[in-house]
Chains A and B, each alone.
Chain A
Amino acid sequence: AQTVTQSQPEMSVQEAETVTLSCTYDTSESDYYLFWYKQPPSRQMILVIRQEAYKQQNATENRFSVNFQKAAKSFSLKISDSQLGDAAMYFCAYNFGNEKLTFGTGTRLTIIP
């Protein structure tokens, strides 16, 4: 069974600095999708970034980028120039086919002004 592990329950970063959230996963598949979701205090699930496993190039979305290491089954999220609005719970998720998303346990990110 696929599993997703986020080993950092909590992280903090100074405003304007860079922070990296870690995620590892376990799968026997070769073609799949990985996601980072943000959950602010409003509890809404917001897609931050997605990565297709067949693509070697790391995905980027403005200040958000990933470091996808397929052989190591690692999928970290880097947030550059952290802003107060980035404070949230971040979930890493895996998807193979469309049956479900398998989520990690989340990392709570605090931004220090």
Chain B
Amino acid sequence: EAQVTQNPRYLITVTGKKLTVTCSQNMNHEYMSWYRQDPGLGLRQIYYSMNVEVTDKGDVPEGYKVSRKEKRNFPLILESPSPNQTSLYFCASSRVGRTDTQYFGPGTRLTVL
């Protein structure tokens, strides 16, 4: 089954404790992206990657890091989480090409205390 998986699905942590949210896709997609969803703001892009070792900032990259060492994986790293990073996070992937639609993961609910 074609899918994007994220782990963990729920995470409660404390300020400053480094964490990683994993994202993996099994569709051999070149393009992967991270979004955060906040009430009243919709989804906003954090980072994206067009292929292995190619990453770039989205609209709200501050406080986040990403890496793309393998085509299937695109982890989101919060080196020193803060309460304003409490949010719902989505990973998405697609083939490169304008006619494609992005496949979304199930979401990760992160709470930073």
Residues of A within 8 A of B (CB): 4, 6, 9, 33, 35, 42-45, 47, 50, 52, 91, 93, 95-101, 103-106
Query: Are A91 and B104 neighbours in the complex by a CB distance under 8 Å?
Result: no
Q: Closest Cβ of chain A: how far from B76's Cβ, in Å?
A: 15
With contact pairs A98-B31, A100-B48 given, residues A106 and B42 touching in the complex (Cβ less than 8 Å): yes
CB contacts between A and B, total, < 8 Å = 54
Q: Closest Cβ of chain B: how far from A14's Cβ, in Å?
A: 26
Q: In residues 26-81 of chain B, which contact A (Cβ within 8 Å)? A: 31, 33, 35, 40-45, 48, 50, 58-59
Q: For A43, list chain B residues within 8 Å (CB).
A: 88, 106-107, 109
Q: In the docked arrangement, what's the CA distance between A33 and B97, Å? A: 12
Query: Are A98 and B88 neighbours in the complex by a CB distance under 8 Å?
Result: no
Q: Closest Cβ of chain B: how far from A88's Cβ, in Å?
A: 14
Q: For A45, list chain B residues within 8 Å (CB).
A: 90, 92, 104, 107
Query: Are A99 and B48 neighbours in the complex by a CB distance under 8 Å?
Result: yes
> DSSP class of A's interface residues: helix, strand, loop or mixed?
loop
Q: For A35, list chain B residues within 8 Å (CB).
A: 101
With contact pairs A100-B33, A100-B58 given, residues A105 and B41 touching in the complex (Cβ less than 8 Å): yes
Q: In the docked arrangement, what's the CA distance between A44 and B37, Å? A: 12
Which partner residue on chain A sits nearest B95 by CB separation? A98
Which partner residue on chain B sits nearest A31 by CB separation? B98
Q: Give the contacting residue for B97; candidates A93, A98, A103, A104; CB below 8 A.
A: A98
Interface centre among B48, B50, B101, B106 (most CB of A within 10 A): B101
Q: For B96, list chain A residues within 8 Å (CB).
A: 98
**Residue B85 interfacial (CB < 8 Å):** no
Q: Closest Cβ of chain B: how far from A93's Cβ, in Å?
A: 8
Q: In the docked arrangement, what's the CA distance between A103 and B37, Å? A: 10
Q: Closest Cβ of chain A: how far from B22's Cβ, in Å?
A: 18
Which partner residue on chain B sits nearest A97 by CB separation? B98
